[in-house]
Chains A and B, each alone.
Chain A
């Protein structure tokens, strides 16, 4: 058990917004750092898959995935403008202040996956939390065997992190398969749901000794799980990161509790085997 923690768990630390980069419509990436360098250094020890609580005072606080890998230089959030708090963040300008606390949650046990194949399956903005793992895996390339990314979005314009995707593919470190629901803007790639990529000509998904990371909207999640199980994946080798309405991030406010698990402290990363045993539909 951890030693008792006497600090104020609800108190965020001030952060400074460095710059804002448009990603896809309604989604921006916010590069930031803590005012206090010591806080920054401490925060940088986060694990892929963990999350942070972001405060924009006056609007409120919300949980956000950490898309950077801890091995990267900069810290940033990629946020879709969807509610009042995220809209308030979207209104901030470089050098504006907001506040962050965390990191929270269990994260992906990347070390446990050493020696395995990694298959990432993402839909829409589900790539945001998985980005951390992908970058981490590429930076520890020797530890892992094959790395595949299957990524789908509604339209070509809604594919996240396009420069990253291109760079990863060019690096030769992983196989990248993209798809869109509706082709447009001269898209000549695959069209169809993410799961259809598994059956695409020339694609083979290693099943033995493979961890499948799945993250995306609920409908996509259900179908991809079905496809992966049909391919022969074991339930404990499928991992995902769940999200819920969340106020505290530290297991107190009660909003994110699904069945027996508090998503914030017991998750957000669960294997499909665990998800099935939570005692409540996700």
Chain B
């Protein structure tokens, strides 16, 4: 393992090192109360970067797939009409991305880049992205009640898809693990020293202990994946789930693995139009409404069925190699009707005796 040790007092210097290498560094900050967010590190706020804090509700997904993203502008009157694509290729690093969100990014990679059509907008934002993963080790600050990465098999320590992984070993030390040559290249800096076997033992012990701190150790995904894939979930169960949905779209908004978007043209000025894509949500009634007014998925329970089918059906898991749920628990935290992923999985599993395939 390419592991190094860095003192807790020096760990934020990694942010400085990345900034010195020309990266715009995005790091987590505390707002008021529970509020936390990712923001660009500047000289002014550098001291406020937090390592242990509740994972922000607004997922870092937006740095590769922005909430609103311009696709192209079209200008000129009719005769001289010209279409200009607008692709941004920022050089960015996300410092402090959690393992669940890292799994979310990898899911997006598979979705946007892994099939016949490659999404260039996503690809360009993703290309230069440097990822510094922080392992959730502090049960009081890092791990929320709704977290279930253990069950989704994405955490608390990501196994892959990061450039650098940081883990608080206590006693004033962090362990840094390189996942890519770009990450390893940082180890030439003097703040890093070699890890010993004792450090690795401490890492193992901490991870074993952290696993005990999760309230939701399992949410019975495997059974639910089977019932959903076989179409064995009764309409009645979907209706119960649908009855609790307030149709706010919050679950899709905070989800690090949701990908749906709508496209809209907006006027910029005389003879100038921009085409943007905007996050969309299958929870909203208009999602499938066609121009003539016909809506094949009008009922709210059909739309809930859609979300969980899309995330958990075996067919899509095979296609994208991972479930479209990473166990971050955000949907459970924001849902006013308590039909976040863990609750739905449990509702489906509880109805199992009725739904068991013949």
Q: Write the residues of chain A forming the contact surface with B, with a CB cutoff of 8 angstroms.
A: 1-2, 4-14, 55, 57-62, 82-86, 96-97, 99, 218, 243-245, 247-248, 250-255, 257-260, 265, 279-282
Contact = CB atoms under 8 A, between A and B. Distances in A.
Contacts of B288: 244-245, 255
Interface residues of B, number: 49
Interface stretch (B109-117, B183-191, B203-211): B109-117
Given A60-B265, A247-B262, A254-B259, A260 B290 contact: no
A11 B296 contact: no
Contact of A8 (B74, B85, B302, B309): B85
A10 B122 CA distance: 12
Contacts of A250: 116-117
B118 A5 contact: yes
Nearest to A62: B291
Given A11-B83, A279-B309, A252 B119 contact: yes
Interface string B151-169: 0000000000000000000
Nearest to A92: B78
12 contacts: A2-B116, A7-B120, A9-B119, A11-B83, A57-B275, A83-B292, A85-B291, A250-B116, A252-B111, A254-B310, A255-B262, A281-B296
A244 B287 contact: no
B265 A58 contact: yes
A13 B103 CA distance: 36
B301 to A, nearest CB: 12
Contacts, number: 125
Contacts of A257: 306, 310
A255 B260 contact: yes
A244 B306 CA distance: 15
A97 B120 CA distance: 25
A258 B310 CA distance: 10
Nearest to B313: A260
Nearest to A218: B294
A99 B74 CA distance: 11
For the complex of A and B, list the 8 residue pairs with the smallest distance between their C-beta atoms, beginning with the closest. Answer: A83-B291, A254-B260, A250-B117, A260-B315, A57-B74, A82-B291, A247-B263, A97-B81
A9 B277 CA distance: 13
A32 B260 CA distance: 31
B287 A255 contact: yes
Interface in B116-158: 116-121
B289 interface: yes
Contacts of B115: 251, 265
A138 B139 CA distance: 72
A90 B287 CA distance: 25
Contacts of A252: 111-112, 117, 119, 259, 261
Contacts of A61: 263, 265, 275
Interface in B66-121: 71-72, 74, 78-79, 81, 83, 85, 87, 111-112, 115-121
B224 to A, nearest CB: 15
A99 B267 CA distance: 17
Contacts of A7: 120
Nearest to A2: B116
B357 interface: no
B280 interface: yes
Interface string B27-43: 00000000000000000
B316 interface: yes
Contact of A58 (B273, B296, B302, B313): B273
